[in-house]
Amino acid sequence: MERKIYKSLLKWKHSNLRKPLILRGARQVGKTWLLKEFGRREYKSFVYVNCDKDAFAADLFRDYDVKRILLAIEAHTGVKVREGETLVVFDELQETPRGIGALKYFCEDAPDIHVAAAGSLLGITLHAGTSFPVGKVDELTLRPLDFCEFLAGTGDAPLAKLLTDGEPSAIDTMREPLIERLRRFFFVGGMPEVVSAFAAECSLAEVRRLQRAIVDSYQQDISKHAPANEVPRINLVWRSLISQLAKENRKFVYGAVKHGGRAKEFETAIQWLVDAGTVNRVTRVNKPVAPLAFYENFNAFKLFPLDCGLMGAMADTPAASILAGNAGFDEYKGAFTEAFVLSEMLAARDSRVFYFSASDSTVEIDFIVQNGTAVVPVEVKAAENLQSKSLRTFVTAHEGLRGVRFSLSPHRDQGWMENVPLYAVSRFFSDNSETGE
């Protein structure tokens, strides 16, 4: 299964400024598989150390003597670690005392040794106070498969290539097949194990079983890894996600978690879920001016599950509601569609996404992103509805802005706003990125 981030791994390998790599990502997005595959394909040899399951790793970082650490790895694995020829992979590095801190010394004392570290809960560990080797590591984030990766992984490589390389007019000629595949993606989502099972069997029952198992594993992580006093609150937030998104404006409301709930009661619980990578937080901005982070309002935000397929499992959404007709796009007031668009934007840009809401609630902009110095307001439509009153009002009121609307309607440029088909979200942001990558 090919992942777009593979190109970034290759760039890291060949960089003269390469440092030890930290690959972040939620549990079961494919970090371990990707690093092993990268080691097999691109190096003469690679060694893999699971710092959670391998008892050998418990004492591996008792000090920061890199030569001793490498000799211990060689003795344990039987593989000679050679500069530029061997990839050293540390999985679940956060589970080993001093492991993350050791990356600094690999950078300083063994810069020609290629080291990559992964961990499902690295974000939580770092926010818990673990010393982070600032300036001594490179970082990448792996997310669930996006729609193009899903197409390529389920036997539709030509459609994936069309979305990536084709002109908008050519893409629109395949509109109906792409909408059909998009419905499938709404149900299956982008978790690699789920996508692989769907590609092999096309069993919707097996897809849902695997999705529920992943959701269960996330809940088990809460019980196992979260501070005991926070576990009940984290569970309350996690269980409220779907009902929160059922509201018209999707804004997270503390009182919907628990009667009388307040920010200070649940802010740590929310941060835990964000750090674990299981939810994506979209914060409100008060002004559509770059840099958007200057105008961030931390008191207003939306929370989305990291994957639309997992969202469907959490909501126990019947397959027929998503796969048959347009029900999957209309019936749930756009919540699934917004979750999809958000995940596509994050995968394509790997940068923050915000939203805008006027104080009098007369104008609501689903998402707002920054591209260089440009600010782009984004409206999401679950079907072919081309009414964009809020977006037009917003663009008219802020000179220099140009909006984008994602819907099931074909591509069209209206000057003040560009309509882009939902299946081409990733393509739009790739074409409009600063780097062009």
Q: In this predicted model, what pLDDT tens digit does every residue of 119-177 receive, in sequence order?
A: 887 766 654 555 678 889 999 999 999 999 999 999 999 999 999 999 999 999 999 99
pLDDT for 21: 97
How confident is the prediction for the chain on average, in pLDDT? 90
214 within 8 A of 191, measured Cβ to Cβ: yes
**Domain edges within the chain:** 6-141, 147-431
* pLDDT for residue 296 is more than 90: yes
Stated as kind and residue range, the H or E segment containing 421 is strand 417-421
Domain 6-141 sits in CATH at 3.40.50.300
264 within 8 A of 242, measured Cβ to Cβ: no
Predicted TM-score (pTM) of the model is: 0.92
- Asked whether the bond before 97 is cis by omega within 30 degrees of 0, the reply is no
What CA–CA distance (Å, rounded) separates 262 from 255?
7
Query: Amino acid letter at 166?
Result: G
Token digits of residue 333: 């007031």
* pLDDT for residue 40 is more than 80: yes
380: three-class secondary structure by DSSP = strand
What CA–CA distance (Å, rounded) separates 19 from 137?
5
CA nearest neighbour of 126 among 159, 88, 78, 94: 94
Q: State what percent of residues in the chain have pLDDT above 70.
A: 94
In degrees, to the nearest 5, what angle opens at C-alpha 144 toward C-alphas 139 and 148? Answer: 110
| Residue 80 CA to its chain's centroid (Å) | 35
**Helix runs in 226-334, H state only:** 231-245, 254-257, 263-276, 308-315, 319-323, 327-330
pLDDT band at 329 (very low <50, low <70, confident <90, very high): very low
Residue 286: C-alpha distances to residues 104, 283, 357, 358, 388 (Å): 39, 10, 8, 8, 20
